[in-house]
Amino acid sequence: MKLSTLLATAVVALSAVLGGAAQAKEWKKVVIATEGAYPPYNLTQANGKLAGFEIDLAANICPRVHLECTFIATDWNGVIPGLLAGKYDAIMDGMSITPKRLKVIAFSTPYTQSPSTFAVMKKGPLANMPDTGKRVSLDNPAQMDAAIKALTPVLKGRTVGVQVSTIQADLLNKYFKDIMTIRTYGKTEEHDLDLYAGRVDLVMASSTYFVASLNTPQGKQAEESGPLFVGGLLGQGAGVGLRKTDPELKALFDKGLAEAKADGTLKKLSLKWFKTDVVPQ
């Protein structure tokens, strides 16, 4: 082969490769990252298989939009950098849609919305704190101030456990930093262990998480306490985390979710896993 022919072939081959990449990506297979340790959103069964609300939800919406979805278990810590690095295409891990995260990634429409609250030991001094079970909105400063004022005498000097880089950690850092010592954990299960062991006085998480965790044999020693926080930095509920560069994929997930919401599937799954309706209104 002559050199000129070789070069021409190379140019043709190269432009074919580049041209292909420049076209809008047609999605068929999608890898979704989840923690497998955030029940009831996602959990790992005794046989090692993933299960939970999000696993069921993906199994329902992916076929609706002709996607073949597979899950991959990933640490919560670093789940967003992994998405940006292209290790997977989507995140379904009870991840709340917040302004801070929206700067970095895109989200589908939300599929759950639930308040955040504290859990304490039933027999401990913090059971039935002020405003237990009452909704307090972070968007209402007067209401928030009153709630913090009521909680301050009970929580002064206590130690609270929370999962790192969650909206709950943001909430504690913003409103309770000067009142309590905040300890951050890699997984919610770890701060639960420290609650039972007495290393922390209380923990904070989403109330949907407590539905599952307080129902375990060990979890029965603990209960929810204090206000149900909503709004503000807590975001608009949890959605599928996606790269900003994949608008086609976001459109597919939005379509699937809208259909699942319209025909009642979302509510059915919510009742199955959370025992309550957490579908965003």
Partner 1 sequence: MTEIDFLADTMRRLLVGVPLTIALAVVSVACGMALAIALAVLRAGSRIAEPLVRAYVFVLRGTPLLLQIFMIYYGLGQFSWVRNSIAWDLLRQPWWCAILALSLNTAAYGSEIVRGGLNSVPSGAVEAARVAGMTALTRYRRIVLPIAMRQALPAYGNEMVIMVKSTSLASIITLMEVTGIAYAIISETYRAIEVFLCAGTIYLVLNFLLTRGIGALERRLNPQLGQAAH
Closer residue to partner 1 (CB): 100 or 149: 100
Instruction: List residues near partner 1 by CB under 8 A.
Output: 77-78, 80-81, 84, 100, 104, 161, 164-165, 183-186, 190, 193-194, 196-199
Query: Of 82, 58, 86, whose CA–CA distance to 70 is shortest?
Result: 58
Query: Of 266, 233, 240, 166, whose CA–CA distance to 206 is shortest?
Result: 166
CB of 77: closest distance to partner 1 in angstroms? Answer: 6
CB of 33: closest distance to partner 1 in angstroms? Answer: 14
* Contact of 120 with 202, CB cutoff 8 Å: yes
Closer residue to partner 1 (CB): 77 or 132: 77
Closer residue to partner 1 (CB): 80 or 148: 80
Q: What residues pair up with 184 in beta bridges, in sequence order?
A: 162
Q: What residues pair up with 183 in beta bridges, in sequence order?
A: 161
CB of 24: closest distance to partner 1 in angstroms? Answer: 26
Q: Does the bond joining 217 to the residue before it have cis omega, within 30 degrees of 0?
A: no
Supply the Cα-derived Rg of the chain in whole angstroms.
Answer: 22
Closer residue to partner 1 (CB): 241 or 256: 241
CB of 185: closest distance to partner 1 in angstroms? Answer: 6
Residue 16 exposed, middle or buried by CB count within 10 Å (0-12, 13-18, 19+):
exposed
Closer residue to partner 1 (CB): 38 or 273: 38
Helix, strand, coil % (nearest 5) of the chain? 40, 20, 35
CB of 164: closest distance to partner 1 in angstroms? Answer: 6
